[in-house]
Amino acid sequence: MTTLGAVFRPQLAPERLRAVAELADDVGLEELWLWEDCFREGGISTAAAALAWTERVRVGVGLLPVPLRNVAMTAMEAAGLHRMFPGRAILGVGHGVQDWMGQVGARAESPLTLLRERLVALRALLGGERVTTEGRYVRLDDVALDWPPQGPVEVLAGATGPRTVRLTGEAADGTILTADTPPEGVRQARRLIDEGRAAAGRTDGPHKVVVYLLAATGVGAGERVRADLVAEGVDGEAEVGVAGDAGTVAKAVRRLAEAGADSVILQPTSDEPDPEGFVRFVAEEVRPLVP
């Protein structure tokens, strides 16, 4: 069964989150995803609040930019969420938007190396291991969490380019793909992920693929989707984004699922006029049409 979720975009003020999260819980939305976009809202703080305000909905953070965070601190915060809200927190990391990382003096010379080292260390710490390592970017001396998660947890990683996608297969438990990924892009990502897993000799269970899907419904939906795609520099001929009624959106979700997506997270446009209505639309109208 394909998991379906929605994004609370950080263009909305943080004080809007509670109403959206509580509604998501009430209407049965499976997952509510948050973004740590510079320089808007912190991913861990908003996730903790959303989890505390709700009882059932899973809350994802996609992504935490690793250049901004010490890996031990990320592990401590992630472990706290997993222990306080078992089975409901989903955390993804990425190498961050390089221009933003440059603005705060955190731009890495090799983002791929940084992400690899952080993934290896983060998964080990969350797995309850004691870690000593001396890498190019990650240096830990006999570090272990006093309060690791009480069971296995997934660490997802965001990726766009082929080298990074392959790395997620090697070193992460799942991959998050952006909303400019068409179905064929999902298929290609699956192939690269499998290559990475094979190269690393990984046989530790399935690898989750999460894909964002830009979506809008109601008056002006098509214009809003096109405007967001243009703003992101996406080719107008690309098979991405969807505007229309529940049936039209569900069809786009099914195409991504058939291509290999385990979870499809509907991403409202940056100017979505009714965030609560969007969540209700996803949970009550689109969900019944997606197997």
Of 12, 90, 5, nearest to 51 by C-alpha is: 90
pTM over 0.95: yes
Per-residue pLDDT tens for 87-146?
999 999 999 999 999 999 999 999 999 999 999 999 999 999 999 999 999 999 999 999
pLDDT at 238: 78
Q: Is the pLDDT of residue 237 over 80?
A: no
Strand partners, 143: 131
Mean pLDDT, range 30-41, rounded to an integer: 96
89 compared with 238, residue with greater pLDDT: 89
Q: What does DSSP say about strands 131-134 and 139-143: parallel, antiparallel, or unpaired?
A: antiparallel
Cβ atoms within 10 Å, residue 55: 11
Residue 235's pLDDT band (boundaries 50, 70, 90)? Answer: confident
Cis peptide before 39 (omega within 30 of 0): yes
Residue 205's pLDDT band (boundaries 50, 70, 90)? Answer: confident
Per-residue pLDDT tens for 53-79?
999 999 999 999 999 999 999 999 999
Burial pattern 143-182, b for ≥16 Cβ within 10 A else e, equals bebeebbeeebbbbbbbbeeebbbbbbbbbbbbbbbbbbb
Distance CA 194, CA 187 (A): 11
Residues 6 or more apart from 23 whose CB is under 8 A from it? 276, 279, 280
